[in-house]
Amino acid sequence: MTNASEIAQWILDTIHAEKTVHQEAVVPRIAEAFGDEWVYTNENGHQAINRDVLKSLRKLRDASVSWNREDRSWNVVDAS
């Protein structure tokens, strides 16, 4: 059985591989790969990631990845 930490690691790996990952694009990928119990529709009507997964992602994420609230995406930060 998959847990929140494993999904968070998968998201982080995806961000590093793709450099930019929009939440709306990753939600259906999570549902397909791990099951619908890991996603939901939030109060704004947007597809969202389970809060436990996001909590785990925040713990795993370091300065190399930033969250763009306006764009609702994660981005790899260019350190150069």
Q: State whether the Cα torsion 61-64-65-68 is positive or negative.
A: positive
Domain spans of the chain, in order of start: 4-70
pLDDT at position 46 is: 86
pLDDT at position 49 is: 97
5 and 56 Cβ atoms separated by less than 8 Å = yes
pLDDT at position 74 is: 97
Residue ranges in the chain whose pLDDT is less than 50: none
7 and 30 Cβ atoms separated by less than 8 Å = yes
Phi, psi of 67 (to 5 degrees): -105, 130
